[in-house]
């Protein structure tokens, strides 16, 4: 029987102790524990919708609570109401009278919107028995457009323009961040570079921003390992002031850097614009977006020439609908979309968005690549598959987000088996 209604929602606090190996470490997040609010919507059939939003460590508790509160607006709803005009339904979640004040459309509430609407998109794709990217690609243009809230975007993009897109199908290029976490020793960087090259990666990203001399040594090491022709990007995770970013990057320019990611505050549009202008003669672009709050902020970054690479995030924005909106807008501005994948489950999700972008929107892979990290994929039922430095189009119905029951049992905070062991041996405390 096809589902007709959402009957219940569960939200679980799932965390992984990634800080123990310094996986995910950068100049601002020195010891992150990759975590997510894990949502399961039950229906009046066997089908369920699974969704996540990504956070780091203790804050996950707050995100889970926000998600639970907001989920009450979804439970009991008929699917024909939700999917009949998904854009409108999305707007009802972001604009709820008593909670809108907490955002609007940013921060914890928006992370909660992402978890819930990612689960609804996953359910939709499962109902249609398609992987999410194929669901999006196969949609009638009018239906796709009705799934997006165009509010505050009409000055740069109207629904009519969004339908003029090209259709193609192919695997998608990616880059790896896994060789260049800030907390890794040189020997580990060398070993990981060799392994990544052997696997066919040609694009690499390193973390920078803590110490210039150290960055110069590490970037030169990376450049030496990957050779002169492969692509190297760096990521400062919001560490610098504007002028500091410009000066620092001049000090790394000999390493032939394609982009500097998040050089300064993710809210500083004019600062990014200034950095982009100063670094253009060095051939270095500015990439940002993983902490960009919503489509309205993206609009301004794009219009101001403040981002040369647009890094959408499947969980920071309000789920698939808002990501599709930003993909369409970036296309209008001729800025390549290179999604952020640094976090648990984000690679599984963003691959779908990149494939939709290629098939239905940009029709181009030039200057485009999706982030790939070699962490935590073993916890997913349908992990992303990367071969020869490219994502292979997923085939399982849904948004690739279902986690294995065993992983949920092990890593749900704090009762999961893995956490109980770490708490018992004193590695972690409950506070
Ligand atoms: C804390 C995360 O690992 C962050 O460093 C990820 C990131 O910035 C990226 O992948 O890009
Ligand atoms: Mg980053």
Mean pLDDT over each residue of the chain, to the nearest integer:
94
Residue 157: pLDDT over 80:
no
The DSSP result for 13-71, as a single string, is EEE--GGGGTTT--SS-SS--EEEEEEEEEESSS-EEEEEEEEEGGGHHHHHHHHHHHH
Residue 275: pLDDT over 50:
yes
Any ligand 1 atom below 6 A from CB of 340: yes
Residue 204: pLDDT over 60:
yes
CA of 288 to the centre of ligand 2 (A): 8
Tokens matching residue 127:
């109902």
From 237, 239, 259, 261, give the residue whose CB has the most ligand 1 atoms within 8 Å, as the site to mutate: 237
Determine which residue's CA is closest to atom 7 belonging to ligand 1.
342
CA distance 81 to 92: 12
Which residue did the predictor score with more confidence, 172 or 347?
347
> What pLDDT score does 170 carry?
59
Any ligand 1 atom below 6 A from CB of 177: yes
> What pLDDT score does 185 carry?
94
> What pLDDT score does 365 carry?
87
> What pLDDT score does 159 carry?
63
393: DSSP letter = P
Any ligand 1 atom below 6 A from CB of 238: no
Residue 182: pLDDT over 80:
yes
Q: How confident is the model at residue 421 (pLDDT cuts 50, 70, 90)?
A: very high
Percentage of the chain beyond pLDDT 90 is 89
Looking at the CA of residue 24, tell me the nearest atom of ligand 1.
Answer: 3
Any ligand 1 atom below 6 A from CB of 235: yes
User: Residue 85's CB: how many other CB atoms inside 10 A?
Assistant: 15
Q: How confident is the model at residue 160 (pLDDT cuts 50, 70, 90)?
A: low
Compute the average pLDDT of residues 7-14: 98
Tokens matching residue 11:
């939200």
From 15, 26, 234, give the residue whose CB has the most ligand 1 atoms within 8 Å, as the site to mutate: 26
Catalytic residues: 207, 340
Helix axes 319-333, 295-303, angle to 10 degrees: 10
As beta bridge partners, residue 173 has 390
Q: How confident is the model at residue 162 (pLDDT cuts 50, 70, 90)?
A: very low
From 175, 177, 347, 350, give the residue whose CB has the most ligand 1 atoms within 8 Å, as the site to mutate: 177
Burial level of 145, CB count in 10 A (0-12/13-18/19+)? buried
CA of 267 to the centre of ligand 2 (A): 14
Any ligand 1 atom below 6 A from CB of 256: no
As beta bridge partners, residue 150 has none
Looking at the CA of residue 311, tell me the nearest atom of ligand 1.
Answer: 11
Compute the average pLDDT of residues 325-338: 96
CA of 430 to the centre of ligand 1 (A): 25
Residue 166: pLDDT over 60:
no
Q: What SS3 class is residue 227?
A: coil
Beta strands 390-391; 172-180: pairing state: antiparallel
CA of 342 to the centre of ligand 1 (A): 5
Compute the average pLDDT of residues 374-400: 95
> What pLDDT score does 58 carry?
94
CA distance 338 to 335: 9
CA of 24 to the centre of ligand 1 (A): 6
Any ligand 1 atom below 6 A from CB of 56: yes
Which residue did the predictor score with more confidence, 151 or 215?
215
CA of 186 to the centre of ligand 2 (A): 21
Compute the average pLDDT of residues 303-323: 97
Q: How confident is the model at residue 168 (pLDDT cuts 50, 70, 90)?
A: very low
CA distance 146 to 416: 40
Q: Per-residue pLDDT tens for 35-60?
A: 999 999 999 999 999 999 999 999 99
Q: How confident is the model at residue 169 (pLDDT cuts 50, 70, 90)?
A: very low
CA distance 147 to 143: 7
Compute the average pLDDT of residues 197-217: 97
ipTM of the complex in this document:
0.98
Residue 163: pLDDT over 70:
no
Q: How confident is the model at residue 288 (pLDDT cuts 50, 70, 90)?
A: very high
Percentage of the chain beyond pLDDT 70 is 97
């Amino acid at each position: 029987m096809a589902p007709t209604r959402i009957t219940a929602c569960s939200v679980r606090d799932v965390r992984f102790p990634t800080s123990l190996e310094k996986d995910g470490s950068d100049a601002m997040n020195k010891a992150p524990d990759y975590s997510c609010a894990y949502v399961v919507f039950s229906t009046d059939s066997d089908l369920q919708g699974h969704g996540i939003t990504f956070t780091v460590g203790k804050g996950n508790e707050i995100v889970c609570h926000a998600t639970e509160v907001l989920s009450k607006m979804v439970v009991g709803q008929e699917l024909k109401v939700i999917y009949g005009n998904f854009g409108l339904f999305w707007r009802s979640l972001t604009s709820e009278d008593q909670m809108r004040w907490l955002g609007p459309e940013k921060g914890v509430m928006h992370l909660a919107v992402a978890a819930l609407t990612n689960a609804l998109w996953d359910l939709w794709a499962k109902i249609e028995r398609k992987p999410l990217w194929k669901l999006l690609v196969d949609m009638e243009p009018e239906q796709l457009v009705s799934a997006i809230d165009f509010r505050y975007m009409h000055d740069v993009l109207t629904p009519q323009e969004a339908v003029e897109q090209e259709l193609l199908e192919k695997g998608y290029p990616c880059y790896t961040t896994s060789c260049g976490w800030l907390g890794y020793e040189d020997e580990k960087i060398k070993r990981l570079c060799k392994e990544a090259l052997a696997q066919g990666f040609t694009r690499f990203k390193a973390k920078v921003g803590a110490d210039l001399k150290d960055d110069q040594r590490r970037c030169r090491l990376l450049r030496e390992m990957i050779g002169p022709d492969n692509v190297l990007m760096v990521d400062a995770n919001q560490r610098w002031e504007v002028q500091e970013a410009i000066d620092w990057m001049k000090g790394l320019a000999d390493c032939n850097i394609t982009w500097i990611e998040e050089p300064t505050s993710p809210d500083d549009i004019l600062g990014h614009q200034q950095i982009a202008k100063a670094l253009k003669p060095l051939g270095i672009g500015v990439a940002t977006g993983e902490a960009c709050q919503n489509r309205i902020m993206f609009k301004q970054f794009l219009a101001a020439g403040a981002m040369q690479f647009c890094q959408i995030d499947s969980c920071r924005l309000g789920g698939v609908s808002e990501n599709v909106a930003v993909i369409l807008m970036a296309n209008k501005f001729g800025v390549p979309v290179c999604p952020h994948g640094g976090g648990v489950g984000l690679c599984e999700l963003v691959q779908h968005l990149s494939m939709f972008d290629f098939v239905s929107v940009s029709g181009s892979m030039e200057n485009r690549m999706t982030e790939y990290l070699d962490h935590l994929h073993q916890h997913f039922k349908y992990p992303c598959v990367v071969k020869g430095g490219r994502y292979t189009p997923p085939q399982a119905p849904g948004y690739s987000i279902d986690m294995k029951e065993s992983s949920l049992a092990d890593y749900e905070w704090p009762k999961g088996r893995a956490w109980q062991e770490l708490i018992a041996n004193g590695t972690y405390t409950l506070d």
